[in-house]
């Protein structure tokens, strides 16, 4: 190996100092950067309604509660919270009064997943309230419909 001269030593020290200065400057430029920006997205403009299905056990008779099963279908691409409202009873016979019936629905919200076809919402009951003073024979053979919405 060739001995290092004084001139070569000075050149090596100067080159090292230059590399440190250049490297330090690059690090300073990297850490002192600034910038700004923005972004936007369009929200979905509408959704399809969630379908609530109501199934009542057959054989409605005075004083005998029948099970109601509630399910939901969600055709949308996002989950939907469903809270059932109070059910409304209607009948196919004018002599069979809806006021003679009581119907219940489960309380609380249920998450209905996106694109779900049958999500259980819970159960309730339908009762033809028995009356000792009113002839309820008009309800024999009548179609009893339970309708429920959501909040």
pTM for this structure? 0.70
Cα separation, 57 vs 82, in Å, equals 23
Cα separation, 87 vs 139, in Å, equals 19
Cα separation, 42 vs 64, in Å, equals 53
What residues contact 149, with CB distance under 8 A and at least 6 apart? 52, 84, 85
Per-residue pLDDT, 151: 81
Which residue segments constitute the domains of the chain, with CATH numbers given?
A: 51-147 (2.60.40)
What residues contact 92, with CB distance under 8 A and at least 6 apart? 142, 143, 144, 145
Given the structure tokens 């490297």, which residue do they identify?
23
Q: What is the pLDDT of residues 52-90, one digit of tens each?
A: 999 999 999 999 999 999 999 999 999 999 999 999 999
Q: What is the mean pLDDT of residues 33-45?
A: 67
Per-residue pLDDT, 147: 95
What residues contact 30, with CB distance under 8 A and at least 6 apart? none
Q: What is the pLDDT of residues 100-148, one digit of tens each?
A: 999 999 999 999 999 999 999 999 999 999 999 999 999 999 999 999 9
């Amino acid at each position: 190996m060739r001995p290092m001269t004084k001139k070569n030593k000075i050149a090596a020290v100067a080159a090292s100092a230059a590399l440190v200065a250049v490297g330090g400057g690059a690090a300073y430029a990297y850490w002192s950067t600034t910038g700004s920006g923005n972004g936007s997205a369009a929200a979905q403009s509408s959704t399809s309604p969630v379908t609530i299905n109501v199934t009542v056990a057959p054989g409605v008779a005075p004083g005998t509660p029948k099970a109601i099963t509630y399910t939901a279908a969600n055709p949308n691409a996002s989950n939907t919270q469903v809270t059932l409202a109070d059910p409304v009873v209607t009948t196919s016979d004018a002599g069979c009064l809806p006021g003679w019936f009581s119907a219940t629905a489960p309380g609380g919200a249920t998450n209905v997943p996106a694109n779900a076809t049958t999500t259980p919402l819970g159960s309730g009951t339908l009762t033809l309230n028995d009356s000792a003073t009113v002839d309820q024979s008009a309800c024999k053979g009548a179609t009893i419909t339970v309708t429920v919405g959501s909040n």
